[in-house]
Amino acid sequence: MIEIKDLHKSYQMGSNSLHVLKGINFNVKEGELVAIMGSSGSGKSTLLNILGMLDEADTGSYFLDNIPIKDLNEKIAARYRNKFLGFIFQSFNLINYKNALDNVAMPLYYQGIKRKERTDKALHYLEKVGLADWATHLPNELSGGQKQRVAIARALASEPKVLLADEPTGALDTKTSYEVMELIQGINDEGKTILIVTHEEDIAHMSKRIVNLKDGLIIDDGIVEQVRANSYV
Amino acid sequence: MFNRDRWNEIIEALTANWFRTLLTAFGVFWGIFILVILLAAGKGLENGVKRGFGDIATNTMFMWTQVASKPYKGLPKGRRYNFKIGDVSSIREKVPGLRYISPRNQLGGFGGTNNVIRGLNAGAFNVYGDYPEIINQDPITITSGRFINYGDIDNNRKVAVIGEGVKKELFKFGEEPIGEYIKIQGVSFMVIGTYMKKSNNGDREQGQKEIFVPFTSFSQAFNRADNVGWMAITAEDDNSITNLKKSIIDVVKTNHTIHPEDNRAVGNFDLYEEFSKINGLFIALRGVAYFVGTLVLLSGIIGISNIMLIVVKERTKEIGIRRALGASPWSVRGQILLESIFLTIISGMTGIAVSTGVIFLVNKLLEGMPASDETMFANPSVDLTVVFVALLILISSGLLAGLIPAQVAIRTKPIDALRAD
Ligand SMILES: Nc1ncnc2c1ncn2[C@@H]1O[C@H](COP(=O)(O)OP(=O)(O)O)[C@@H](O)[C@H]1O
Ligand SMILES: [Mg+2]
């Protein structure tokens, strides 16, 4: 599903250049649930953003579902993001003046789907994350956990190939974090490929594979025994 | 493009900060307000001045004889001559594109001795010998009876159409003039109609003190033989009398053996030329109105552009989220442009509405005042074209105002946009 080879990325800051990714190689197969770990500043987000076509690598190759992702113009990048990827952010990134349902329906709007069908689909995914009753609520009327569920529903709505989550539980308390992870595990059980960036050990162990990043290189990559989130309650 | 989400978002974005939106909108409102008011004031002035022309057909020239100033073919200079009734038919034959050619004879007039008598009443009036077409060239409103017709012309009927002013002087109040006889220089004419002239250059009163009789009976009664005093000639609408003037004058010069380069023998007054000069003045005035209005509008547009920039900055993160979800650059740009156009049009339309309201009130006030010829201002108005042009200006300026902010909105990389707060 994802193949990256020798990926490099530096940030230019004035005359200084900060080499963040120093040659990343890794593949993700369909249906995997991968945790990317590493200390703060190790380049996890940078890697995920490149995978998400929000940012571009300096060198190296990236194939998503066998499609080369290179030198895309913004129009095509936008279409690929819309079709192939679902994003889940630490800070939820919901649009605050849209209710839960409209937030979930947004990627469908950009797919050009008609209003009626959009609403039906969005409602379906809200049901899936257990928030059908909150459809008409604005984000600021929801708890953190609920917001992240809405964000997950939104990421799922466009039926992407891969979900990319950057510290999805970073802003949540432990209990809510586990609930969100339980939801993510459920989605993965249905076959969706998911990458999660985290620096929390317990969250990482709820995945099926942990990739460890340090100073811009993968220092460790291995299959782990998945801990089910619901085993904590 | 114009679905509900778009509109919701536009409304949402604009209502987020009411005060700021209002202030921004005011710039464009004021610009279009000034533009419309200036144009309407110009139109009012134009209407006022043109009212001086009355209803007269403006594509018209008047032509009379003067003294030949050059000897020609053995004839001396200083010679007097008269237009003949035959000139009318030869002009008609040789100069195409003319609508009316009215030969006229005239006698008496303001300040002259009393030339019209009825019983014990007498007065000094202009008396014209005319063809029926003259009513189309210098329109009057028949208030009772009828105007001269070709039956009167053909049968040399001694009939007269008198102005309301004439009626007032010769008849008692409430007396019915139609069928009564008046004596014009001793010759009896029967009154067949009365008229009112709407307005005439400065001499309203005088305009009602004229008497029209058939050209033929006039010539007969006052011994004019086949002489013609002067002519009123109107061109077809798709021709201008100014262009035809020379050919017409050439025809009468040939008819009366006048030197082709004698510029003084045929006197004429080209109403169209005068009218065009005044028209040119008002076109210039309109140009000034557009110029000033557009400048004021421009500052309004800059205001909108400025505010849109701030809005875009404030919404950087939201735009980042949208782009992460798959919003194409054009969809982002379109959103900003639509917002800007919407704001411009709404404030502009309010400007148009308020200014037309003001114009309406001014019209009401003017209506209430007695119309006098000294007021050089009448019926200020804007026509639909102006509103249409203003709307076009608004849409394009809305686009213009949104252009830079829209570009700014997509210039930031999605990832940087997402990082902003
Ligand atoms: N846009 C940027 N400009 C400059 N430096 C950046 C930028 N984004 C990230 N960095 C730097 O790159 C390094 C890796 O950042 P990041 O990928 O966000 O790390 P992580 O997510 O693992 O904490 C950090 O040192 C960070 O300061
Ligand atoms: Mg990070």
Q: What is the pLDDT of residue B203?
A: 52
Last residue of a domain, one of B270, B288, B313: B270
Q: Identity (one letter) of the amino acid at A204?
A: A
B371 pLDDT exceeds 70? no
Instruction: Specify whether B111 is located in the same domain as B255.
Output: yes
Tell me the pLDDT of chain B averaged across its residues.
Answer: 85
Question: Which of A40-49, B85-94, B112-121 has the weakest average pLDDT?
Answer: B112-121
Q: Report pLDDT for A232.
A: 75
Encode pLDDT of A171-212 as tens digits: 899 999 998 999 999 999 999 999 999 989 999 999 999 999
B171 and B75 share a domain? Answer: yes
Please give the residue that has the higher pLDDT: either A100 or B339.
Answer: A100
Mean pLDDT over A50-70 rounds to: 91
Q: Chain A within 8 Å of B334 (Cβ-Cβ)?
A: no
The span from the CA of B314 to the CA of B13, in Å, is 10
What per-residue confidence (pLDDT) applies to B40? 85
Note the pLDDT tens digit of each residue in B121-155.
888 899 999 999 999 888 888 999 999 999 999 99
pLDDT band at residue A32, thresholds of 50, 70 and 90? very high
Which of A49, A106, A115 is facing B325, going by the closest CB pair? A106
Q: Which residues pair with A9 in a beta bridge?
A: A21
Q: Report the Cα A5 to chain-centroid distance in Å.
A: 20
Give which of B331, B338, B335, B343 is closest to B307, Cα–Cα. Answer: B343
Q: B287 and B178 share a domain?
A: no
Nearest residue to A81 via CA among B416, B411, B325, B328: B325
A45 CB near ligand 1 (under 6 Å): yes
Residue B372's pLDDT band (cuts 50, 70, 90): low
Global confidence as pTM:
0.66
- Residue B66: pLDDT above 50? yes
* B327/A78 Cβ within 8 A: yes
Query: For position B87, what pLDDT does the model report?
Result: 93
What is the pLDDT, as a whole number, of residue B202?
47
Q: Which of A87, A89, A97 sits opposite B12 (nearest CB)?
A: A97
How confident is the model over B249-262, as a mean pLDDT?
91
Q: Is the model's pLDDT at A37 over the cut of 90?
A: yes
User: Of the ranges A55-69, B43-57, B75-89, which one carries the lowest mean pLDDT score?
Assistant: B43-57
How many structural domains does chain B have? 2
B18 and B134 both lie in a single domain: no
B87 is in which domain, residue-wise? Answer: 60-270
Claim to verify: residue B79 and residue B183 sit in the same structural domain: yes
User: pLDDT, tens digit, for every residue of A137-176?
Assistant: 999 999 999 999 999 999 999 899 999 999 999 889 999 9
- For residues A37-42, give the mean pLDDT: 91
Q: Which residue has the higher pLDDT, A111 or B14?
A: A111
The domains of chain A, with CATH numbers, are 2-231 (3.40.50.300)
**Whether residue A132 has pLDDT greater than 50:** yes
Do B375 and B333 fall within a single domain?
yes
Whole-angstrom distance, CA of residue B104 vs CA of residue A40: 105
- How many angstroms is it from A213 CA to the middle of ligand 2? 12
CB B246, CB B162: distance < 8 Å: no
- B164 and B82 in a common domain: yes
Residue B290 shares a structural domain with residue B346: yes
The string of DSSP letters for B367-396 reads HHSPP-TT---------HHHHHHHHHHHHH
Contact A161, A193 (CB under 8 A): yes
Task: Say which ligand is closest to the CA of A54.
Answer: 1
Residue after which a domain boundary falls, among B251, B270, B289:
B270
- Kindly state whether residues B29 and B153 are assigned to the same domain: no
pLDDT at A51: 93
Confidence (pLDDT) at B45: 83
Span B197-212, average pLDDT: 70
Q: Is A12 in the pocket of ligand 1 (CB under 6 A)?
A: no
Is there a single domain that holds both residue B302 and residue B196?
no
Can you give the pLDDT at residue B26? 87
Domain-ending residue, one of B220, B250, B270:
B270
**Cα(B28)–Cα(B343) distance, rounded to whole angstroms?**
9
Tell me whether residues A106 and B418 touch, CB distance under 8 A.
no
Please tell me the distance from the alpha carbon of residue A111 to that of residue B4, in angstroms, as a whole number: 16
DSSP string, A113-171: --HHHHHHHHHHHHHHTT-GGGTT--GGGS-HHHHHHHHHHHHHHT--SEEEEESTTTT
Q: Is B12 on the interface with A (CB under 8 A)?
A: yes
Distance from CA of B328 to the nearest CA of A (A): 5
Q: Which residues contact A205 (CB under 8 A, 6 or more apart)?
A: A35, A224, A225, A226, A227
